[in-house]
Homo-oligomer: A and B are copies of this chain.
């Protein structure tokens, strides 16, 4: 029943295959467009690997850039990048929400985000309504952010209305889709003391990165937190915790750094620390030069980028829900509980194993990629690890080595951005659907741990 009513073409035996195909096609189309001479400011064709890297970076909403976006690309090229970011951001949001519904439906669960409360099947019109909701909500958010940014560029920075609107729209899309492309060579550092711009960008990035199911539940029932689903409660709790943690760590580490927070007044330090703690999850703008931050700040950023944002949103990483549920497992185990309970719901053993699998695969991928990039380039571990986690977590922050990792390094990062973007989603849904029945149980054997 389910599969007949869901919008996945019959040739795709699994929704994960559709996601891979859609993203692969978008990257190929984007690379082709960006290879055209018309896409560059100089009017000359861009190197294929650079075009491929940039297209993958835009579609996967990573935002790592080999060339300076504003000076290398023409307006046509910039519009292509913004368009790919929009397609990538909305695409992942829509597909992830659909896959979530599909998985929930197959698992026989209520799908609260579609709005229906009793029925367990999902009709084609439900799906259409859902996609409309996602699109409408995203466009409204981006429009609000674009208007706020445009106003500020006119009032505060003397831009013409046309130029300000262009900049406003580009960066609103870039923030909400969490792609993180920027039209200034020094990123957002010129706006470090501008709360209007910083808070607009940060808010758009947070909302886009929470994930549609959570945002929709918040919009619908923000007055009644006691009725929230476990997904929403974990997402909100971990997001707030990580934002506080990041802000405090960056304040403590960079407070006196003369090349980052040092010259700012206390309010400026607070604003910069908050902005810097929002961006690893995973919009990827920066108001201070990442390359000048202390390596201990890079380590904290690595952690935040690896975790990323919410499920079924534009953010990457292993997701705040994953780390939140892992923390609950550890907490339950330290307290000696025989079950892991989160907010009056028991966490199934299968979900616990999925968390372990997603996390271990992420760690393995980051480790192998870091080893390879260390061997391929002369850069240091702190720079390489930062770059690899940034690509995997689709954060797009960089210590500055992106242009200097060579062709092999660029291809490696391209693959990593792609896997980082769709890997956790496809792996997660595949794990949830790929369950075998077992008709007998083997006896247990306890093995001492540690």
Which residues of A come within 8 Å of B, CB atoms? Answer: 100, 103-104, 107, 109, 229-231, 234, 249, 253, 294-296, 298-300, 303, 311-312, 318-319, 321-322, 325-327, 329-330, 332-342, 344-358, 360-361, 367, 370-371, 374-375, 380-382, 385, 423-425, 427-429, 431-432, 434-438, 441-450
Structural contact, B294 and A346, CB atoms closer than 8 A: no
Q: Do A447 and B231 form a contact, CB below 8 Å, given A329-B356, A381-B295?
A: yes
Contact A353 B380 (CB under 8 A): no
With A345-B442, A356-B329, A375-B294 known as contacts, the answer to whether A299 contacts B351 (CB < 8 A) is no
- A346 lies within 8 A of B436 (CB): no
Check B445 against A432 for contact (C-beta < 8 Å): no
Q: Closest residue of chain B to A358, judged by CB? A: B450
Q: Which residue of B lies closest to A334 (CB)?
A: B357
Complex: chain B residue closest to A428, CB-CB: B450
Q: Tell me if B356 and A330 are in contact (CB < 8 A).
A: yes
Of B339, B349, B356, the contact of A438 (CB 8 Å cutoff): B339
Residues of B near A380 (CB, < 8 A) are 295, 380-382
A348 contacts which chain B residues (CB < 8 A)?
444, 446
- Shortest Cβ distance from A438 into B: residue: B338
Chain B residues with Cβ under 8 A from A434's Cβ? 335-336
Distance in angstroms from A145 CB to nearest chain B CB is: 27
Beta-carbon contact of B337 and A436 below 8 Å? yes
Complex CA–CA separation, A371 to B293 (angstroms):
13
Q: Is the CB of B381 within 8 A of A336?
A: no
Bound CA–CA A429/B450 (angstroms): 8
Q: How many copies of this chain? A: 2
B427 & A450 in contact (Cβ 8 Å cutoff): yes
Q: Which residues of B contact A367 (CB under 8 A)?
A: 299, 303
* 13 extra interface residue pairs, beta carbon distance < 8 Å, beyond A299-B367, A351-B447: A104-B448, A296-B371, A296-B374, A296-B375, A311-B448, A325-B447, A338-B435, A341-B442, A345-B443, A352-B352, A352-B356, A380-B380, A429-B448
**Which 3 A/B pairs are nearest by Cβ-Cβ distance?**
A428-B450, A424-B450, A345-B445
A337 touches B447 (CB 8 A): no
The smallest beta-carbon distance between A226 and chain B, in angstroms, is: 15
A342 neighbours in B (Cβ, 8 Å): 445
Q: Are A354 and B333 in contact (CB under 8 A)?
A: yes
Q: What are 17 A-B pairs at a CB distance below 8 A?
A: A103-B448, A231-B448, A253-B375, A298-B381, A299-B370, A311-B450, A325-B449, A326-B356, A329-B356, A333-B354, A340-B353, A345-B443, A346-B445, A355-B449, A381-B385, A382-B382, A423-B450
- Assembled-state Cα–Cα distance A336/B433 (Å): 8
A381 to B435, CA, bound (A): 41
Answer whether A446 and B109 are a contact pair too, CB < 8 Å, given A294-B375, A338-B436: yes
Name A321's closest neighbour in chain B (CB-CB): B447
- When distances are taken between beta carbons in the complex, the residues of chain B under 8 Å from A432 are 446, 448-449
Judge whether B336 and A435 touch: CB under 8 Å. Answer: yes
Chain B residues with CB under 8 Å of A370's CB are 299
* Chain B residue with the shortest CB-CB distance to A362: B450
Q: Which residues of B contact A109 (CB under 8 A)?
A: 446
